[in-house]
Amino acid sequence: MKTLSICAGLLLAASAALAQHDGSGAIHVMSAWSRALPPVSQNGAVYLTLKNYAEVPDRLVGASSPVARQVEFHTHATEAGMMTMRRVETIVLDPGEYVRFEPGGKHLMLIGLKQPLSEGEKIPLTLEFEKASPLEVTVTVQPLGATGPGIDDHDHSGMHGHHKKHEHKSP
């Protein structure tokens, strides 16, 4: 029983350490990860979970990374029995709700990779929101074929994210 309590505590601590958030504490990013890719791959994907702790909705409106020419938001849909991938312009973040980016669902496409993604690599990703400050996230590259983030893949130095100055635009 004592071993079970210790394991539960370690899992809880690992989950908390994987979280990154904007300066206001409104947007939290958890478990940002990607998969290693063969050297010929020109595109990759990033998976993560977002939670909006603000009392009002927000939107994820953009993303960028120095490892790719551009980053797009994509989702999968089934049309006429076929799975298709579609680009979406923004992602709504309702108050108190989790938005999961995962294999087979929503994901961030890294288009035009400048180098292959290698296992163990940490890549920077900047998320832009309609209301919250931009958030710099550390994405950990998991092994080829990984199905989720590793438990001990967090970076203590970046666990709270780094914030960029952001000017709010008038509607």
Nearest to 132 by CA among 6, 16, 8, 29: 29
pLDDT (0 to 100) of residue 157:
30
Sketch out the chain's domains with CATH numbers.
19-143 (2.60.40.1890)
Q: 103: which 2 tokens?
A: 């294999």
**Which residues, other chains included, contact 52 with Cβ-Cβ below 8 Å and sequence gap of 6+?**
26, 27, 58, 93, 94, 95, 96, 97, 99
| Model pLDDT for residues 11-69, shown as the tens digit of each residue | 333 343 345 654 457 999 999 999 999 989 999 999 999 999 999 999 999 999 999 99
Q: 116: which 2 tokens?
A: 């292959």
Instruction: Check residues 18 and 134 and name the one with the higher pLDDT.
Output: 134
**pTM, whole model, 2 decimals?**
0.76
d(CA 101, CA 28): 13
